[in-house]
């Protein structure tokens, strides 16, 4: 049941449109949707593509099952349809520096990484440690090679990346009114005081974001709430405190923002957009795209991060170790963007990484992943990583075994070894219906040893 204070508020704000709004929240149907990962070579195999989400590419209505080959291979991402639009409106270009400041569980980050096409860098941050782990797993499944996942407060990041990012997406924590239909538990913690608490938090986060925005950079601000206090009024605050200009968002499926819901009545607030549940696209969403029109006085011309003492070191890998890794990698078709400069590789307790940012640039931050983890060095052998398997799914591969049926696929996800017919030997990629999702190792006996991580097994 909707809170009385909520109903009174939106009856006043919406007037004659209020009954349709309340009906959609209480009796309307929740819509599930997914995006297809254009980075992956295979394309979706288990899902119908006959109901596209209007206004988006590669997005469709339908439900994804977490034990399907589409999901475990990172070929699709399940996401609330209205929530797909902020990343789409970011219009990220390959080579840009991009920050997703409140990134978990990863829906928007995966979309931003896809737009980068392996060029530039995406820093995906999540302050909650448990949710940051989920964010990492989802980006790993997506096959991104140029992503840094961190678990820090926004102000901690700002100290490392002053005026550094070309594009920053802030999908701010909010009162969650747009999720009332999808998640009725959100109703339980709603109150007028909570709305004000969220607004204060949003302004604090945005202040840190502005400290990281490069001259003439783009800021995308979004919430999943209807609250004017957290939507138009926050954007109005940004316009009053920073040299920002609202950009027009051409979305026929959305409604314009409401200048009359902000104290200033700034007519430019019509350039913000709202998704209402009664419109039939998805749940509630607010979106604004802003551009910095004047470089802040604190920004230097190069927009470089804080200078730190750099220690130039040779790779900690010796030549035999390098040879072990390269012997494995040369079996596979490697995608563009994967850092294969041996001098840049990092060896952390046997875990070999190909970083996208210099590690000293991230000193003092809680870094979950920097670029790609290639695998693990063990005595006289190199074991490729699960992340590398997902990255290699971007390309067609010959060193791969495609499982013959659903039963074999299910057994492999469970962690079992399989008897297969193949002339291949050694490490192989494992796929089902052509969708690569793991590594395995084939011996002369035709037994496929299972390398699907224990933490992912079903």
Which residues are annotated as catalytic? Answer: 224
Tokens (6 digits) for 197: 């608490």
Q: In DSSP terms, which residues pair with 431 in a beta bridge?
A: 402, 436
How buried is residue 248: exposed, middle or buried, by Cβ count under 10 Å (0-12/13-18/19+)?
exposed
Query: Can you tell me the distance from the alpha carbon of 129 to that of 327, in angstroms, rounded to the nearest whole number?
Result: 36
396, 402, 424, 425: which is closest to 332 by C-alpha?
396
Q: In DSSP terms, which residues pair with 442 in a beta bridge?
A: 426, 448
What are the residues whose beta carbons fall under 8 Å from the beta carbon of 19, sequence distance 6 or more?
Answer: none
What are the residues whose beta carbons fall under 8 Å from the beta carbon of 240, sequence distance 6 or more?
Answer: 264
* CB count in 10 Å sphere of residue 94: 13
Query: Can you tell me the distance from the alpha carbon of 86 to that of 91, in angstroms, rounded to the nearest whole number?
Result: 9
221, 183, 258, 287: which is closest to 17 by C-alpha?
258
Q: In DSSP terms, which residues pair with 100 in a beta bridge?
A: 124, 169
Q: What is the largest CA-CA distance in the chain?
A: 75
Query: Can you tell me the distance from the alpha carbon of 223 to that of 78, in angstroms, rounded to the nearest whole number?
Result: 18
Reduced to 3 states (helix: H, G, I; strand: E, B; else coil), residue 87 is helix
Tell me if 175 sits within 8 A of 227, measured CB to CB: yes
Query: Can you tell me the distance from the alpha carbon of 242 to that of 227, in angstroms, rounded to the nearest whole number?
Result: 22
């Amino acid at each position: 049941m909707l809170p009385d204070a909520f109903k009174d508020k939106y009856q006043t704000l919406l007037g004659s449109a209020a009954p349709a709004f309340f009906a959609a929240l209480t009796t309307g149907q929740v819509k599930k949707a997914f995006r297809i990962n254009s980075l992956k070579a295979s394309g979706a195999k288990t899902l119908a593509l006959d109901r596209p989400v209007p206004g988006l590419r590669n997005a469709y209505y339908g439900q994804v099952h977490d034990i399907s080959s589409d999901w475990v291979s990172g070929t699709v991402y399940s996401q609330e349809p209205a929530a797909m639009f902020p990343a789409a409106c970011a219009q990220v270009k390959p080579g840009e520096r991009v920050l997703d400041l409140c990134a978990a569980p990863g829906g928007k980050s995966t979309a931003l990484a896809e737009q980068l096409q392996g060029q530039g860098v995406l820093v995906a941050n999540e302050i909650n440690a448990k949710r940051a782990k989920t964010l990492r797993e989802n980006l790993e499944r997506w096959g991104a090679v140029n992503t840094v996942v961190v678990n820090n407060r926004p102000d901690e990041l700002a100290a490392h990346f002053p005026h550094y990012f070309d594009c920053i997406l802030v999908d701010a924590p909010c009162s969650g009114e747009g999720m009332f239909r999808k998640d009725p538990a959100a109703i339980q913690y709603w109150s007028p005081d909570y709305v004000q608490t969220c607004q204060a938090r949003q302004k604090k986060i945005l202040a840190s974001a502005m400290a990281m925005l490069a001259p003439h950079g783009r800021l995308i601000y979004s919430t999943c709430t209807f609250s004017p206090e957290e939507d138009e009024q926050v954007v109005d605050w940004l316009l009053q405190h920073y040299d920002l200009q609202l950009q027009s968002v051409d979305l026929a499926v959305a409604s314009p923002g409401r200048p009359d819901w902000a104290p200033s009545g700034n007519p430019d607030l019509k350039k913000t957009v709202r998704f209402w549940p009664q419109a039939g696209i998805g749940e509630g969403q607010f979106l604004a795209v802003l551009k910095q029109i004047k470089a802040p006085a604190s920004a230097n011309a190069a927009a470089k991060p804080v200078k730190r003492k750099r220690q130039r070191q040779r790779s900690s890998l010796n030549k035999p170790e390098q040879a072990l890794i390269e012997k494995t990698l040369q079996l596979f078709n490697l995608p563009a963007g994967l850092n294969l400069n041996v001098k840049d590789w990092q060896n952390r307790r046997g875990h070999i990484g190909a970083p996208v940012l210099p590690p000293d640039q991230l000193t003092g931050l809680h870094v979950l992943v920097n670029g790609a983890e290639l695998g693990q060095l063990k005595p006289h052998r190199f074991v490729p990583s699960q992340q590398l398997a997902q990255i290699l799914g971007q390309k067609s591969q010959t060193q791969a075994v495609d499982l013959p049926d659903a039963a074999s696929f299910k057994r492999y996800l469970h962690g079992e070894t399989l008897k297969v017919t193949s002339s291949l030997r050694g490490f192989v990629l494992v796929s089902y219906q052509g969708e690569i999702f793991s590594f395995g190792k084939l011996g002369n006996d035709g037994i496929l040893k299972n390398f699907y991580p224990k933490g992912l097994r079903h």
